[in-house]
Amino acid sequence: ACGSDDAETVKGGVTRTYQSALGWLVGNSPEIIAKEAGYLAEYGINGKLVSSTGTAQALQGLLAKSSEYSRIQPLSSMITIANEDAPFVVFGTSVQASAFEMQSLAEKPVKSMKDLEGKSVGIISAGGTTDQMVDLMAVRQGVKPKDINRKVTGLGTAAHQFALKGDVVAWIGSATERTALEEAGHKIHAWSFDSVIKVPGDSFVTTRDELDKNRDVVVKVLAAYYRGLEFVVDPKNDKQTIEYFRTYNREITVDMAQAQLDVARPLFLAAGRNNIMKTDVTQWDTMQDALAQAGLIEKTVDLSTVVYADLLDEALALI
């Protein structure tokens, strides 16, 4: 088994399931280590880890109470919270910078959203985070979202092919995908979305219900994740990190995992070693304003009922 159902359960402990938003990426290592290194168990929690194929799946899993925790891109959660009154709360931020980039061919670089006016951009899935991201950035840079065509090109590596073919002039991809393309000898021009608007990084979410009823569990989970994150950002632990990670994604080679880890570590540390896992409420404010401005949300919400940045202090107190 991939470690989710093993015998090392904690007697008398509570069971909590974490559902990833999209398979197992190296970025999920903190959560994996929290379980595999026994941090969760130390706090009396039986951790389970399951995967899914998309943000919406993961969010619905939370709402169905099939799982309790997930880590998703904040754009999606913000939109559903504002528009649908979805009862999510955010209690930690694992990645302090956007994992997504606007990528284009180096020969025909796309330098800002203006370059995309009337053109097509490749996104990962229709209606998903990358789609919303394009809207948001377009508004930020004074382009009407409708003036940018979207084509679902899937993975960044495949999107590159469509760019060569001329179907799209740019695409949204991850740093890892860019690295893979560059290793294959392609020249890629890329800029991080953070250079246009600083939105929060991937954040841990749970339901309002869980927070209200089991605040202590949420805090313990966060503490375990924090320790997992601390473990990951330390290059000394890379070998062990990769070993843990590979219990869930056995297919990845050690070298590949190392390469991805090298790409991911700066994102974890983007706000500084002392600010790991910190949630920046002002970024949420900025994001909410931008979303409202772009017409992606119909109303704004009181972020103090959504973002619980101070839980981190309680968690740190446990460590």
Partner 1 sequence: MKRTSTFVDRWLVFVTTPLLALVIIGGWEAYVRLSGVSHFVLPGPGDVFAALKTQITDPYVWTEHVWTTFVETVFGLLIGAAIGIASGFAIGKSRILDLVLRPFLVLIQVTPKVALAPLFVLWFGFGESSKIALAALVCFFPLMVNTAFGIQSLPQGHGDMATSIGAGRWFRFARVELPHTMAYILAGLEQAVVLATIGAIVGEYLGGDKGLGRYALNLQSNLQIDLLFGAIVLMAVYGLVLYVATTSLKKVLIPWHESVRLTSRPSK
> Based on CB atoms, which residue is closest to partner 1, 78 or 277?
78
Interface pick for partner 1 out of 128, 214, 240, 275 (rule CB under 8 A): 128
Phi and psi at 98, nearest 5°, equal -70, 135
Q: Which one of the spans 46-54, 98-106, 212-220, 273-281 is the region binding partner 1 (CB under 8 A)?
A: 46-54
| Distance, C-alpha 202 to centroid of its chain | 3
Q: Is 87 helix (H, G, I), strand (E, B) or coil?
A: coil
Binding segment toward partner 1, per CB under 8 A, in 220-228, 245-253, 287-295, 303-311 = 245-253
CB of 220 to partner 1, least distance (A): 22
Residue 194 Cα distances to 99, 191, 270, 276, angstroms: 9, 8, 11, 17
Is 237 among the residues that bind partner 1 (CB under 8 A)? no
| 1 near partner 1, judged by CB under 8 A | yes
Does 160 bind partner 1 (CB under 8 A)? Our answer is yes
The contacts of residue 131 (CB under 8 Å, 6+ apart) are 123, 125, 150
CA distance 3 to 284: 34
Query: 107: exposed, middle or buried (C-beta count within 10 Å: 0-12, 13-18, 19+)?
Result: exposed
Binding mask 49-78 for partner 1 (x = CB under 8 A): xxxxxxxxx-xxx-xxxx---------x--
In this complex, which beta carbon is closest to partner 1, that of residue 66 or of residue 305? 66
Residues with Cβ within 8 Å of residue 246, at least 6 apart in sequence: 252, 254, 257
Residue corresponding to tokens 């608007």: 197
Give the residues lining the site for partner 1 (CB under 8 A). Answer: 1-2, 4, 17, 19, 22-25, 49-57, 59-61, 63-66, 76, 79-80, 83-84, 86, 125-129, 131, 150-155, 157-158, 160-162, 164-165, 167, 176-177, 180-181, 184, 248-252, 256
